[in-house]
């Protein structure tokens, strides 16, 4: 039994590169989304086994703080639009990377 160590290193390098790119573009997309004045606000959900649960009051407070932060943004409307397009482009790169990986698994195996 022999192990092809070069193939192992290739797979490791590809996986590490893909992980860094997906996480990096996702983080950049979230940052641009917030700069565009559209921070993602998630509605509270009740879980039976949750340690802490966000109340409706806390959710309203978070939405109000997000709206207030969006109002005081120093960016112009054009800059906000550009940041929003950049955020969507970053999310598209993440989706393409994940889809590409899935296609490699399904059709190259």
- Rounded Cα gap, residues 86 and 25, in angstroms: 10
10 Å Cβ neighbour count for 35?
20
Full pLDDT tens readout for the chain, 109 residues: 888 899 999 989 989 999 999 999 999 999 999 888 887 776 656 666 656 667 778 878 888 887 777 677 777 888 889 999 999 999 999 999 999 989 988 998 6
Residues making up the chain, counted from first to last: 109
DSSP 76: -
10 Å Cβ neighbour count for 33?
19
In what helix (H) or strand (E) does residue 72 lie, and over which residues does it extend? none
Q: At what angle do helices 5-35 and 77-107 cross, to 10 degrees?
A: 150
The single residue listed with the structure tokens 């054009």 is: 78
């Amino acid at each position: 039994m022999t192990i092809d160590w070069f193939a192992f290193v290739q797979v490791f390098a590809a996986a590490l590169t893909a992980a860094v790119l997906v996480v990096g573009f996702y983080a950049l997309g979230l940052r641009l989304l917030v700069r565009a004045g559209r921070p993602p606000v998630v509605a509270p959900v009740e879980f039976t086994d949750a340690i802490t649960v966000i109340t409706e009051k806390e959710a309203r407070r978070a939405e109000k703080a997000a709206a207030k932060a969006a109002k005081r943004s120093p960016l112009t409307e054009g800059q906000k639009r550009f940041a929003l397009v950049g955020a969507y482009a970053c999310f598209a790169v993440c989706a393409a990377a994940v889809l590409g990986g899935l296609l490699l698994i399904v059709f190259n195996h």
